[in-house]
Amino acid sequence: METPRFAPLPDSLPETVPFTGPEAIERRRGGAFAARLGANENGFGPSPRAIAAMAEAAAEAWKYGDPDNHDLKFALAAHLGVTPDHVTVGEGIDALLGNLVRLMIAPGDAVVTSNGAYPTFNYHVNGFGGDLYRVPYRDDHEDPAALMAEAARVGARLVYLANPDNPMGSWVTDAEIQVALNALPPGCLLILDEAYVEFAPPEAVPRISVDDPRVIRMRTFSKAYGMAGARIGYAFGAPALIRGFDRIRNHFGVNRIAQAGALAALADSGWLAQTRANVARARNRLGAIAADNGLTALPSATNFVAIDCGHDGDFARRVLVALSDAGIFARMPGVAPMDRCIRVSCGPDDQLDLFAKALPDALRQAGQTPRR
C-alpha cells in the first residue's frame, strides 16, 4: 500500500528542523548536559507568582484555554499602553511568525531577511512557498538600510529584523529603524522580532505608533519572563492587521496553564527587574571568562553573549564539540564570518562555573596556542 501523496509544496521541501534541541543531543551523547547554556533560556526561572498560577491552573487542565486570550490580551494592552484590538497572543514568537507568513505570503512572494538571522522564520517562509532573499550582517549587526534596499529591489512583502539580534546579541537604534521605515517599499510589512527587548537599552526600543500599518512587533514570555517551555508570546500592531490573525490562527493553541502563568508573570515587575539584574551580572561574568582565555565577548543586549574565538568557523565548531564532550551545551552562529563566535546563554553562577572550568581545555583541544 502506498502512502497518500503530499501536496506539491510540502512534497518539494526537505525534512527540516530549524534547531536541534539539547535533548536530542543528550540522547546522542548518552547523557545529560551539566550546563545548559545554548538555547537562550532563562536559567533564573519564572516568577514564583507565575509558577503558583500555573500550578493552580493545572488542576483545570481538563478545560480548553480561553480561545480569545481575553484576560491576558487586556493585561498586555494595559502594559503596552494600547487597546486590546492592537494585540494578538500565540504559541511563542515561532507560531506568531508562522501565522503571519501564512497570512501575508503566497507562493512566489518575496521576503527579505538577514543571512544568518533566526532560521525558524526562514522555515516558515519556505513552508508557505515564499522566495527568500538575504542580506549580510554589517559589523556583526543587522543592516536595516541593506534590508530595505533589497526589499525595494525584489518587491518584498515582508522584511524580518530582530532587535536585539539573535545570534550576535547586537542591536540597532530607534533612529536607524526610523530611517529604515521611511525607506520601506509600499505594500511591505516590517516584522520587528523583539524577543529580547526587556534586556535592551532604551535607545534600541523604537518609538513607533502602534497604528502604523507598516510594522508588526513580536515579543515573548520565553526570555525575560523565564517561560520558554510554556510556549506563549504576543504581537501588536494596527488593528486591521491584528484582526487578520483570527482568520488563520489555532484558536485553542495557547493553553490555559500558559495563559495563567503569563498573566501572573506580567504583573510581577519586581521579579522581572531581578532577572534583568541577574542577566546583566552574568553577561559581565561571561565577558570576564572570555577575557581570561584571550577571547573577546561582543557587546550584548540579550540574555546571551557571543564570544569571538579569534579564528574561523571550523575552530569555533571544534570548541563547541569539546565543550559538549565536557557536558556544556552552547551554540554558535551558522554563517561566516559570525561563525567565528560561540554563543553562550546567561545563567546562574553554578552553570557559569562549569563553563569557566571547561573552556580552557576546549580551546586547547580546538588547537589554540596556550597563553604565555
Domain boundaries, the chain: 8-45+270-366, 48-268
Q: Under CATH, to which class is 8-45+270-366 assigned? A: alpha beta
Mutual angle of helices 349-366 and 269-292, in 10-degree steps: 30
Give me the pLDDT at residue 16, please.
Answer: 81
Q: How far is CA 255 from CA 64, 89, 233, 252, in A?
A: 7, 11, 12, 7
Class of domain 48-268: alpha beta
pLDDT in tens, 58-107: 999 999 999 999 999 999 999 999 999 999 999 999 999 999 999 999 99
Percent of the chain scored above 90 by pLDDT? 95
Cis omega (within 30 of 0) on the bond before 186?
A: no
- Three cell numbers at 101? 507568513
Rounded to the nearest 10 degrees, the angle between the axes of helix 119-127 and helix 92-104 is: 40
Query: Cα–Cα distances in Å, from 274 out to 187, 223, 225?
Result: 42, 13, 11
Q: What is the bridge-based pairing of β-strands 304-308 and 296-297? A: antiparallel
User: Cα angle vertex 165, ends 260, 267, to 5°?
Assistant: 25
Q: What is the pTM of this model?
A: 0.96
Residues 233/249, Cβ–Cβ less than 8 Å: no
Question: What is the dihedral angle through the alpha carbons of 86, 78, 228, 120, rounded to the nearest 10 degrees?
Answer: 20
| Nearest to 366, CA basis, from 342, 335, 343 | 342
* Structure confidence at residue 210 (pLDDT): 98
Q: What distance, in Å, lies between the first and last C-alpha atoms of the chain?
A: 68
- pLDDT tens-digit readout, 15-61: 887 888 999 999 999 999 999 999 999 999 999 999 999 999 999 99
pLDDT at 370 exceeding the cut of 80: no
Whether residue 73 contacts residue 87, with contact meaning beta carbons closer than 8 Å, is answered with yes
DSSP sequence for 40-58:
---TT---HHHHHHHHHHH
Across residues 307-324, what is the average pLDDT? 97
So what's the pLDDT on residue 3?
83
Residue 369 has pLDDT above 80, yes or no: no
Average pLDDT, the chain: 96
Q: Closest by alpha carbon to 86, among 253, 250, 243, 197?
A: 243
Kindly report, residue by residue over 145-179, the tens digit of the pLDDT.
Answer: 999 999 999 999 999 999 999 999 999 999 999 99
pLDDT in tens, 250-283: 999 999 999 999 999 999 999 999 999 999 999 9
Report the C-alpha gap between 41 and 297 in whole angstroms. 19
**Among the listed residues 37, 87, 86, the one whose alpha carbon sits nearest the alpha carbon of residue 262:** 87
